Every structure is written in C-alpha cells, then in structure tokens.
Structure 1
Amino acid sequence: MKTLYIAAIVLVALTTAVLWFSWDTIFYEPQICFLDELDAGAPDLIFACTDEKDVILSPESIDQQQLVQYAFELINADRSKYGEQELVLINNDFTQKHAEELLFTCMTSYWSASGLKPYMRYSIAGGEGGIMENVRVLGTPNLKKHWTEESIKQVIAWNQYSMVEGDEPSDWYHSQNLLYPMHNNVAIGIAWNDFCISIVQDFEHDYIDWRQYPTITSDNMLKLSGEIQFNSTLQNIDIFFEPTPVPLSDLQLMSTPLRYSYGHQCSIFSCVSSMSVGNIIPNPSDELTEEDMEKVLNVQSETTIVLVAREWEIKHSSDKTTFSISDDITKLIDEFGTGVYTVIIWTTPDNTENTIAITTISIFV
C-alpha cells in the first residue's frame, strides 16, 4: 500500500512538471508577424505579431528578379552619390546559391555549407578577377513572417542605407566594399523564407583578359599570363594558403566570424588578417641569379617565403599591360602541402599611387 501511495505521488509530480513546462506549447497559438513601416534610416526592423488564426492571407506573388534589380539600382545610386563608377549587374552560379543556403540557419556567414570562402566559390565558378562580398541575414528564426514584395523592398533599402551610411559598428567594412573604386560588376543574391531574408552582394573587379589562367602544374610551376585593360606597374604576387575546406554543420556556420580574410589564420573559429605564405617578385638585381637573390631575401623574412620569379615579362602600351609570369613554388608546396593556394596580383595603375589587388583567384592543389 505504501508503494502505491509513493507511486501516485511521483505520478502526480511528473504530470504537474510536464504540464508546467509544456503549458505554453500545449496552449500556444501560432503567430504571424508583419513588418512595421520601415524607413531606410531606422535603427532596426520592428514586427507586429498576431495569432495566425485571426488573419486570412492570400499567397503573395513576389518577383525575385525585380528585388535584385531594385537592390542593384540602390547600389549604383550610392556609388554615383560618392563619385564612383556605376556597376554592371551580372549573374553567376554561387551568389544566389549562398543566399539560399543562409536560410537554413537564418544567420549571417561568409562561409558556405561546403566550407568555402567567397573567393573560393568565385574561383570554382570561373571568376577571372577579384571579389569582395557583403552578406546580411535579417529576421529571426523563431517568429514566422508574412513577407510582401513591398516589405522585402523596404528591408533591402534599409540594409543598403545601413551598410553605406551606418556601417560604423562594422568599421565601415561593408561600406568600403560597396564604394570600392575598382569594382566594375556586381552579382546579387536575395532569398527569403517564413522567418528571415538573406542578401548577398558579390562585387567584382574584372580587368584581365587571360592567356594563361593561373594554374599550378604537376611539377609545382605557377604560371599565369594575360593583358590588364589599363596601363599599370605590376609590383608582386601574394600567395595565401588554406587547408582543403570540409563541409560545415549548421552549428559551425552559425558561429563563424562576422568577416572573412585570406589565408589559414582566418578560419571558422576566428579571423585575423593573415600574412601571405609566399611573395613572388621580379628579380631586383642584374648581378644575382634568382636562386641567390631568394637566399638573400629570405634571411630577412620570418613568415613569408620570398620567391624571385623565373619569368617576369611585362610590356606596356598607352592603355594595356601585358604580362607573363612563372615560378617554381616547390618550397611552398613542400612546406604546406595540399590545400587551397590563393593568388593575389598587386599592381599600381598609372597616374595613381594606390596599389590594388587585381585578382583573388584560388587554386585547389
């Protein structure tokens, strides 16, 4: 009898606990949230929510291409406002895909589910220049939203204003990407679900007609040649290394850094500006061979392996720069092994003192 009495008490206690902790779930009314009227300069998005059963909503017809065009026009309006050249809207295989991937977590990330950074995705898609990416995911994963084309446009306008005029919390990172003078193209990805909206902007500077797209041969020769569409002075080539990317879980994607950079020191755990592992330069001496010059220069370099190009041929005209560069990078391959080697060409356009990175091309070894 005593055992039955104790069992009854335990049963009552368990029932009470279950009801206590699941009361909200049992009696919860699903809600639907609507975006309040949003001004571009508003501090944040505000939603008004109501029980879903209390409203009757017709399916919304939303034109994704119209949203992309609208975002594109806002970008060019800001670039014109600040005296920069307008961009050309392009399509590629990865920008929209990345926007759609971000909906699974409703969190901003520059890494893809396959572990690729923006310039890696760009290179796999056949990118021929350089890329800078802005990403933002807006909304919350716990509140269901009712989006209309107009409300999404308001979010796009708010995001654009925030990235250009209110980007101080990000140290003006997004703003610098948006207004970078050398960009000439942009691809835009926009996606949404019942909970959030993702916006991806991939800015491209594409100025090289390639004769030999950057490649690393089986005997570890880096080869590249082509024609830059303006006259400039090629300074050097940086090479960054990263281990071969691996797929990431949703939890890993949700905890990635809020910005990205090149090289192995910028990982999914933390991101600091990395030093290149290799730096290819023309031979500055007429008296020393490339091998002897490398020995001299690498005595002074503690982190980056300096390589003196076996071939560094540059020809100039009034409006073009033709180049052919090759070098043996066995020292890098032996030191770091298989992985991703990203090639960044630094050049100084005529009539300017600014040296720019004209490529962000990754080679998978």
Structure 2
Amino acid sequence: MSNILIILISLACITDFQEAFSINGTSSLKILQSYALSKINTDRLNVGLNPLSLSDNKAAQYHASEILQSEILSHWSKNGLKPYMLYSLHNGTGYVQQNIGQISYINTDDVMKGMTSHSFCTSDSRLYCEPLDPFDAIDKLENSMMFDDFLCCHDGHKNNILNKLHTNVSIGIAFNEYYFVLVQNFENNYLRYNLSNENDEYLLEAKMLDPKKNLQLSHISFYIDNLPNEREYEVNKNKLNYSMGDLGLIVSKPLEFYEQYVQPESYRIIEAENWDILDDRINLSFKFPDDFVLNDRIITMVLYAANKTMNTSTHDTDEGTSPREVVPLTSYVIHNKAVLRFD
C-alpha cells in the first residue's frame, strides 16, 4: 500500500500581514476534485496509460475532512477503520488502494503536542505564513508523489498513480488557510456482484463489466482484521503505510476427486461448493469451516482474477509462456453476525 506524503512549507518571517487566500466564488470542491483528476490523468497519459474516471464514492472525502480536524495524517480513520473498510462502508464494491498527502507549516511532533498550523501561524504577529492556494497545493502534492517519492516511500505513491489496472479514483480534499490534505482512493472496478448468505452458505452471483479485459476468476481470499475502534487508531495512526489483514482462508475451484490442495501453515484453502463460470458470468457458493470463528474480527473478501495479458514486468518462461498477472477485483467487508456496524 502507498505511503504517507508530507510537505512542510518554509516560512517567510516578515512584518506585513496579507489577506488570507480564499477560493473564487465560482470554485467549489468539485472543481478542485476535477483539477486533481486532471493532474492524475496527465501523468498517466504521459506514460501511455488510460485515463481514470472520477468515482462518486464518499470515503475519500470523509477521510480528508476528518484529517483536517486533527491535522494528523493517517491511513486509519479515528474509529480505527482502514481505507478498504471505510470504502466498503460507503458502498464501494471494487478494490481500493490509497494515497494521502498533506501540506503543513508544522511537523507531526508539533501536532502531537496539541499545536495546529493555524495556532502556529497566528501565534506571533511578526510571523507570516502565506495562506495556501488549493490549486497550487494539488500541483505540489501530485508533483512530489510522481517525481520525489523514492526516498520517502520507494515510489509507492507513483506506482499507485500509474497502476495500469486502476479504472477510477475518488478524491478527498480538505483545507484551511494554513493546512491542506489530499486523499486519493484508486479503484479497480471490473465486477458487478451480489453476495448473500443462506443457512451459513454464501452465494456469489457476479458479472464481469468488460468481457474484453479477458479476466477469469482465480480464487477468493479472506483477510482478517481486529475490530476497528479508537484504540486501533491510536496504535496505528503514525504508521507510514497499511496493508490487508492476515490471510485466513482461500476459496478455490473444486479439484478432481483424486486431487487435493497443499495446505499452507498460516492459512487454509478450501474448495467451493459450486464453481460455475460461463463467459462473463460467475455463480459460486461456499461455506466457512466450522472452526473459522470470526465473531470478534473483521473479514474482508478479495476476489482475484487471472489477467490473460502478458505481464511485461517478468521474463518469459523456458516454455515461451508468460506468467499471468493476478488482478484484485474487490475489497469488500463482510458483516458477520457480531459486527453489524463499526461505530
């Protein structure tokens, strides 16, 4: 997952105070989001990738607004939700990967001491902090993510922006005079599906949105996280990146009667009760093992598909074939009986 990006603005200490920057009356959050999208798509088009569409999922904006209140840049929400949990709660059905960045006049240590950019910039009449221009802030953050990301984050932000598998992005923007935060939630939307539970048997009915992508379902993975709460936030809020929870279970295609899956030590592989795939339509059913107890945990379902397109980042095998990419299609949180809501 992508790392956190922080840009600290240098100060100009002068005696004259200038009026704070304010957005033109014709501007709005949608205009800023469209501008941020244009910067992303310019970077993608420059390397030959398809442009992304703006997603209407509200998780990124919720997250940005929450960060603005605390000025603590974190992938975790204040109630302990990871990005894919928050995305799923806002009715997201694809797979999501997050970039976040901020522009601030103070560093994290100052924030932990209770200081804010506003309190710092107004603490001394001799100190002048230039009010932030949100369009300029978007330019600076996008440029840093693309061209100054290796030392900070091993190009995690850049790789997320230039991931050829992404189809959409939802953008969260929140700011005041002296602080700006940007949240980019990149999405893979290849599948429309419905998951239901009847007598402890899960039924998955799905349809590939674009058959031309040549995606074929490979397996379903289930990741396990602690229940989200304020303690989870306090423990994890300063981490520079996040990941899926612990892999607990994989549901895969039924084998012939004389075959069986080799069981890893850290998770289990089970066969689906039904595995019916015809062209772009998918109908599956499966049951969790009786000892797969999850009443006090969060379960996230990730469907993976094999991409028949050649993976250019790997070499061909001796047989002349190329390894297949595995494409994550969902990051959907399953509400088990003990977890009806997260707050």
TM-score with structure 2 setting the length = 0.78
Q: Is residue 164 from structure 1 mapped to residue 154 from structure 2 by the alignment? A: no
Q: Measure, in 1, the Cα distance between the counterparts of 2:253 and 2:139.
A: 47
SS at match of 1:354: strand
Q: CA shift at 1:58, angstroms?
A: 6.1
Kindly tell me the number of residue pairs found equivalent between the two proteins. Answer: 291
Does the aligned pair in 1 maintain the 2:52–2:167 contact within 8 Å?
yes
Instruction: Detail structure 1 runs of 4+ shifted over 6 Å in the superposition.
Output: none
Aligned residue for 1:204?
A: 187
* Distance change >3 Å, CA 105–CA 50, structure 1 → 2: farther
Q: Measure, in 2, the Cα distance between the counterparts of 1:239 and 1:332.
A: 15
Does the aligned pair in 2 maintain the 1:164–1:174 contact within 8 Å?
yes
Could you tell me which runs of 5 or more consecutive residues in structure 2 were left unpaired when the two chains were aligned.
Answer: 1-6, 107-115, 122-128, 311-323, 337-343
Q: Measure, in 1, the Cα distance between the counterparts of 2:57 and 2:44.
A: 22
* Distance change >3 Å, CA 58–CA 341, structure 1 → 2: closer
RMSD: 2.3
Q: Measure, in 1, the Cα distance between the counterparts of 2:18 and 2:160.
A: 42
Does the aligned pair in 2 maintain the 1:281–1:308 contact within 8 Å?
yes
* Distance change >3 Å, CA 195–CA 307, structure 1 → 2: same
Identity in percent: 24
Give the counterpart letter for 2:11 in structure 1.
F
Give the counterpart letter for 2:325 in structure 1.
N
SS at match of 1:83: coil
**Aligned with 2:295 (options 326, 337, 345):** 337
TM-score with structure 1 setting the length = 0.73
Does the aligned pair in 2 maintain the 1:279–1:306 contact within 8 Å?
yes
Aligned residue for 2:34?
A: 69
Q: CA shift at 1:83, angstroms?
A: 1.2
Q: Is residue 109 from structure 1 mapped to residue 74 from structure 2 by the alignment? A: yes
User: What are the Cα deviations for residues 219-276 of structure 1, in whole angstroms up to 9, with x where unaligned?
Assistant: 43232121112232221111101122113598556x431111100xxxxxxxxxx4x1
* Distance change >3 Å, CA 248–CA 92, structure 1 → 2: farther
**Aligned with 1:185 (options 133, 150, 168):** 168
If asked which structure has higher relative contact order (CA below 8 Å, sep 6+), I would say 2
Does the aligned pair in 1 maintain the 2:298–2:333 contact within 8 Å?
yes
Q: Measure, in 1, the Cα distance between the counterparts of 2:43 and 2:291.
A: 42
Q: CA shift at 1:207, angstroms?
A: 1.2
* Distance change >3 Å, CA 220–CA 173, structure 1 → 2: farther
The structure with the largest alpha-carbon Rg is: 1
Q: Is residue 313 from structure 1 mapped to residue 276 from structure 2 by the alignment? A: yes
SS at match of 1:349: strand
Q: CA shift at 1:203, angstroms?
A: 0.9
Give the counterpart letter for 1:75 in structure 2.
I
Does the aligned pair in 2 maintain the 1:119–1:131 contact within 8 Å?
yes
Q: CA shift at 1:311, angstroms?
A: 0.9
Aligned residue for 1:261?
A: 243
Q: Measure, in 1, the Cα distance between the counterparts of 2:180 and 2:231.
A: 21
Does the aligned pair in 2 maintain the 1:113–1:248 contact within 8 Å?
no
Larger helix fraction of residues: 1
Q: Measure, in 1, the Cα distance between the counterparts of 2:232 and 2:287.
A: 37
* Distance change >3 Å, CA 106–CA 58, structure 1 → 2: closer
* Distance change >3 Å, CA 282–CA 251, structure 1 → 2: closer
User: What are the Cα deviations for residues 49-101 of structure 1, in whole angstroms up to 9, with x where unaligned?
Assistant: 445xx425267235333222211110000000111110111222221111011
Aligned residue for 1:26?
A: none
Q: CA shift at 1:47, angstroms?
A: 2.8
